[in-house]
Amino acid sequence: MANVVIVGTQWGDEGKGKIVDLLTGYADYVVRFQGGNNAGHTLVVEGKQYIFHLIPSGILYESKRCFIGNGVVIDLGVLLDEMDELAENGLPVTPQRLTISENAHLIMPYHNAVDKGSEAQLKEGSKIGTTGRGIGPCYGDKILRKGIKLGELRDDDLFRDKLQANVDEKNYHLTKVLGSGPVSFDEIYRQFQQYAEKLESYIGNVSVELDQGRKAGKHILFEGAQGTQLDIDHGTYPFVTSSNTIAGNACIGSGFGPSHIDTVIGILKAYTTRVGEGPFPTELFDKTGETIQRQGGEFGATTGRTRRCGWLDAVIANEAVRLNGINGFAITKLDVLSGHETLKIGNAYEEGGRRLTAMPGNIRQTERLQPIYEEIAGWKEDITQVRDINDLPAKTRAYLKRIEEITETPAFIVSVGPGREQTMLLKNPFE
C-alpha cells in the first residue's frame, strides 16, 4: 500500500495529467483535491487527446475508482458535459467509478457573473487574469460561510433557502456595484433540480471511502491542479488561484490523514511557463521564447490562452521542494529543448543590488526581479523516440543531472513527448 501526491512545481501547466495517467496504472484510487474547472489536464492516449477539467485523469482506466474531494469547487454543468463526452467515447462514468464529496462547494451562475464583472472593472495592469469561471467568488462564499455544498441538493428546503439568500445578495452587487444584469432564482433552481436528479447516486463521503480503502491496502493517488506558485498562500499573490495548490492540501481537500502520505512527486517542466498576468522572472521575449512556445504547443487547455515561456527557474523549483516536501521530480517536455545550442537555468534573482534565492512576498519587489543564470550546453538530437534514460544524449543527461544537483531532488520520471509510451519511469513510488 502506498499513498502518493502529485503537484505542480511552477505556475501550472507542467503536464500533471500525463504523469497522473502513467501512475494511475499502479494505483487503485485517484483523487482530485482542490481547484475547479479553471484547471485543464491534457492526455494523449493511442493518438486521441482527452482534456479533463474536473474528473480525475485516472477515469481513463476502467478498473480504477475516482474521487472528487471536498476541496474542489464544482461547476455541475461542466462536470456533466465531461461525463457525457466520456460516455460518447465508450467510457461511461458510473457511480461505481466516481464518488463526489457531499462537502464540495458548488459554483453557481452568480459566481461566474461576479467573477467576470469584477475583472472587467479592474484597470489595465491591475487585472488578475482570472478565467472567469467563478472559482474565486465560490471559494470566497465558502470562506464567508455562504456557500452551497453538493450534499445540500438532497435537502430541497435547505437548498431553496440558501439559494434565495445568495441570489438576493448577489443581484444587489451585480446591479448596484458592477452594473451588470441580475440572475434569476427560478432559472437557477430549475437547473439545479435537474443536476441533483442526475448526480444523486454519485454523492458520498469521500473521506470515509478513502480511509476504508487505505485500511484495505489500496494504492491511492492524489491529483493536484495548477502549480505551487499559484497557491493562495505561498504563490505570487495576488496573481494566484483561489485554493491551496501545495501537497498539504491533498489531506485537507479530501479528508485524508497527513501521516498516511508516503511520497510527493513534483511535476517540473524542463523550462518554465505561465498563463495570464503576474511576475515571471525568467520569461523570454525573444525568438527563443517564441520557439519554445511553438515547439511546446504552449496553449492553455482550459482557456486556449498562449502561455508565456522562459528558461527553467530553479528558485521556484527549490521553493516547490521545500513547500511540498517533494521526494522526486517528474521532468516533462524535455524534448522541447532539443535544438538549442545553449540552455540557461535561473539559480537566483537580483533586486536592488541584492541576491535573492527565494521568491519575495512583496509583489512589487517580485516584479522587479532579474534572474541570475548559469549556462549549460544544449543538444541538437531529437529525443522523442528515446525509451531508456541511458540512451539520451550525454548533454541531455547532463542537463537532468544539473537539475537534480541544484534542487537536491532526484528525477523519478522523465518525459520526452505527449504519449504514454514517451515516458520513462525511473522510480515507481508505488513499489
DSSP 180: P
Strand duo 263-269 + 308-310: pairing: unpaired
Q: Is the peptide bond before 410 cis (omega within 30 degrees of 0)?
A: no
Active site residue 41: yes
DSSP 243-287: S--STTHHHHTTT--GGG--EEEEEEESSEEE-SSS--TTB--SH
Active site residue 13: yes
Report, in this order, helix, strand and coil percent for the chain, each rounded to 5: 40, 20, 40
Q: What angle do CA 109, 111, 114 make, to 5 degrees?
A: 115
Q: Is the dihedral of CA 356, 357, 361, 364 positive or negative?
A: positive
DSSP 23: H
**What gap in Å lies between CA 176 and CA 55, rounded to an integer?**
37
**What gap in Å lies between CA 3 and CA 346, rounded to an integer?**
32
3-state secondary structure of 316: helix
Closest residue by Cα to residue 429 from 222, 183, 151? 222
> 21, 28, 41, 111: which one is catalytic?
41
**What gap in Å lies between CA 132 and CA 338, rounded to an integer?**
36
| 379 Rama sector, left if φ>0, alpha if ψ -120 to 50, beta otherwise | beta
Within the chain, what is the greatest distance between any pair of CA atoms?
A: 67
**What gap in Å lies between CA 188 and CA 197, rounded to an integer?**
14
Which residues fall within 8 angstroms of residue 356, CB to CB, at 6 or more apart?
Answer: 315, 348, 349, 350, 369
Cβ neighbourhood burial of 70 (10 Å; 0-12, 13-18, 19+): buried
- What does R_g of the chain's alpha carbons equal in angstroms? 22
Other Cβ atoms less than 10 A from the Cβ of 186: the count is: 8
Which residues are the active-site residues? 13, 41
